[in-house]
Amino acid sequence: MPEGPLLELRHLKMICAIAQHGRVTDAAEALGVTPSALSHRIKEAERRLDVVLFTRIHKRLRMTPAADYLAEMAERVLSEMDRVEEDVRRMDRGAEHVVRIAVEAYSSYHWLPSFTSYLRDHLPGVDLQVMASAGHEPLQALANRNVDLTVVSGDAAPLGTHQVFLFRDELLFIMPPDHRLAGRAFIEGADIEGEDYITYTKTPEPDREFARLFRPSGRYPRWTATVELPEAIVELVAAGQGTSVLAGWAVRPAIESGRIVSARVGKGGIEVPWQAVMRSEDRETGPVARVSAALAAWSQVNGGFG
């Protein structure tokens, strides 16, 4: 038995590519190799491990449980390698630590320049890397070690994590400036019954508009689209193609520019807490804990991300 790992980096990349694309031809194209070379690589990996990784069904490959497990682990390894390479490049430019951060759902980063300036003044040597692609599943990205710190809404703290309170933010009903409800201080369920409504998730959440406004009133808007990018929802609303409810801090720039207008969700409004979440192992000391504390302090001074 040879010493060291049986699989090489090229085998890990191969397994991830096949998991993503399913077909040898598509995976080979993504990797920049020929299908025959990729088929040879599959056989080589199976020979080294003495395990069947793939079975063929028509022109597609079906992954065995062993391949599924390898793909999950390979994604983590490759992500960690990318992180290490990026960290080394940043350290060469003077950064002592790099903290990767993701924000739940939203890609609104108008707050980022102010915070990075604050960070440079208070934590010199710590660099921030925004992992925008992790925003759809930030807690999963945290568990997989693809990010170090996530900014999420709500109070839930998954097992093995630690949260630091940042700020409370009010959800806002947004509409185009010429909408029939423009000028209202707040909206109720009856106001938007049958209204064209765009959402980024149809999963009801206990502290949001579905449970606090729609369900109690028994009045529901007409869901016309599910758009996973809130910034795209803002554009659709501004163009008069629907309404929505989004975090106030994220839509404030569009409101201030006059492209959309807003109203409170219900007479009392709906406020949602936002937290910085890290792995429990990072909670005491180190750059992740220091960045989360800095983000909390900066948020308090600035009234959140708005």
CATH fold for the domain made of 1-93: Arc Repressor Mutant, subunit A (1.10.10)
Q: What pLDDT is recorded for position 122?
A: 93
Greater confidence (87 vs 96) lies with 96
3-state per-residue secondary structure call for 18-68? HHHHCCHHHHHHHHCCCHHHHHHHHHHHHHHHCCCCEEEECCEEEECHHHH
Average pLDDT over residues 231-252: 95
> 174 vs 43, 157, 258, 266, CA distance in Å?
55, 29, 12, 13
* Sequence letter at residue 160: G
CA atoms within 13 A on the CB side of 261: 14
Location of each CATH 1.10.10.10 domain in the chain: 1-93
Statement: the pTM of the whole predicted model exceeds 0.75? no
Class (C level, CATH) for 96-306: alpha beta
Q: d(Cα 5, Cα 48) in Å, to the nearest integer?
A: 10
pLDDT tens sequence across 136-194: 889 989 998 889 999 999 987 889 999 999 999 999 999 999 999 999 999 999 999 99
Location of each CATH 3.40.190.290 domain in the chain: 96-306
Looking at the chain, how many residues does it have? 306
Q: What pLDDT is recorded for position 1?
A: 43
Average pLDDT over all residues of the chain: 88
pLDDT tens sequence across 32-89: 989 899 889 899 988 988 999 988 877 788 889 998 888 888 887 777 777 666 666 6
Greater confidence (226 vs 118) lies with 118
